[in-house]
Amino acid sequence: MKANVIKSFGGFDTFEYQEIEKPSPRPDHVLVKVLATGVNLLDHYIREGSIVPELPFPHILGADAAGEVAELGDGVNSFKVGERVMVVPGFPGNKEELDIRPTVTAPSFGLPGLHISGTYTQYMEVPVYAIIRDETGLTVEESATLPVALGTAVHAVKGIGEVKAGHKVLIHSGASGSGAIQIQVAKALGAQVATTVRSDKKAEFAKSVGADLVINTHHDDFVNKVQEWTDGTGVDVVIDNLAGNVLPKSIEAAKATGIIVAFGFAAGPEVTFDIRSIFFSQKNLRGSMASDIEDLTWGLEQVKAGKIKPVLDKAFPLSQAGKVHELVSNSKVVGKHVLLPWAE
């Protein structure tokens, strides 16, 4: 079978598209035929070596897989060969830890493409509890945009951010893979959403996925705009996937006692802020990482109900992973790009 592997950390040309041995499913495991795999900014960070100092090379990146069940290991009778599935983007390797919440705190938690072998391949073997039936009716390309973005959006917005009907919420990068889905999750919960972008094209897109207020930060200061939008009180919740020099302003944009969810660091991992901006007004700065299977299940119910739509930008053959990483690392993506392991 074909996979696009990395044999060391490095640039966009580090990938080697090659033949590797096809795994056989062990007892209580399934072999998933990967029909499409989403590309996340995290994959780029891992490839360049800025997430972990070591990996067991050769390594397969990727956390988002949509496909079908290809083979069943002994003892698996809850799925049939040929059923459409998604791979859960993060699960414990030890079955005894399946009930630990949040899942990410399970000692044996593994994220495909980071702790365990990933999705940039034609087949992957996973425990049967790490697949979820795909009953969305979407194309495989669309489905592959969802597991990471949707699961983590539900975890951050509904779970950690506690967004409720009537809230006013600020979600950064409304045209990003994460932001575009977070907007839809907040809207599905009945909130009003303000979002930031840095171009008119992305502003249009953010509006199209449901943002009530779109702020182009090249023209406007988002703190001022959000203060105007909330009559000077600030928003109930901020979901911040940027960090860097943006997070201190996200704290400013939140109301007293509001919640700021630290979700990512697309604008840089180092943040400096005055601690008084948090405790004088009793604001809550919280981290959100990965998702639980309940998050993805709830999100997929919203997809089936038509409340959340996938945000597919373009699909490329798997052999072009390097090119796609370059596009994603330069923010040349609206929503998500996917790779197709079976396309030439």
Ligand X SMILES: NC(=O)c1ccc[n+]([C@@H]2O[C@H](COP(=O)([O-])OP(=O)(O)OC[C@H]3O[C@@H](n4cnc5c(N)ncnc54)[C@H](OP(=O)(O)O)[C@@H]3O)[C@@H](O)[C@H]2O)c1
Q: Could you tell me the smallest distance in angstroms from the CB atom of residue 200 to ligand X?
A: 10
Residue closer to ligand X, measured from CB, 266 or 312: 266
Residue closer to ligand X, measured from CB, 25 or 179: 179
Residues 6+ apart with CB under 8 A from 211: 171, 174, 183, 193, 194, 195
Q: Could you tell me the smallest distance in angstroms from the CB atom of residue 142 to ligand X?
A: 16
Residue closer to ligand X, measured from CB, 45 or 123: 45
Residue closer to ligand X, measured from CB, 136 or 145: 145
- How many other CB atoms are there within 10 angstroms of residue 5's CB atom? 21
Q: Could you tell me the smallest distance in angstroms from the CB atom of residue 236 to ligand X?
A: 20
Query: What SS3 class is residue 227?
Result: helix
Distance between CA 192 and CA 168 in Å, rounded?
5
Question: Which residues lie near ligand X (CB under 6 A)?
Answer: 40-42, 148, 152, 173, 175-179, 197-198, 202, 241-242, 244, 246, 263-267, 288-290, 328, 331, 333
Distance between CA 202 and CA 217 in Å, rounded?
11
Residue closer to ligand X, measured from CB, 282 or 330: 330
- Closest residue to ligand X, judged by C-beta, is 264
Distance between CA 319 and CA 344 in Å, rounded?
8
Pairing of strands 168-171, 284-287: unpaired
Q: Could you tell me the smallest distance in angstroms from the CB atom of residue 296 to ligand X?
A: 12
Residues 6+ apart with CB under 8 A from 105: none
Q: Which residue has the tokens 């969305």?
A: 136
Q: Could you tell me the smallest distance in angstroms from the CB atom of residue 211 to ligand X?
A: 12
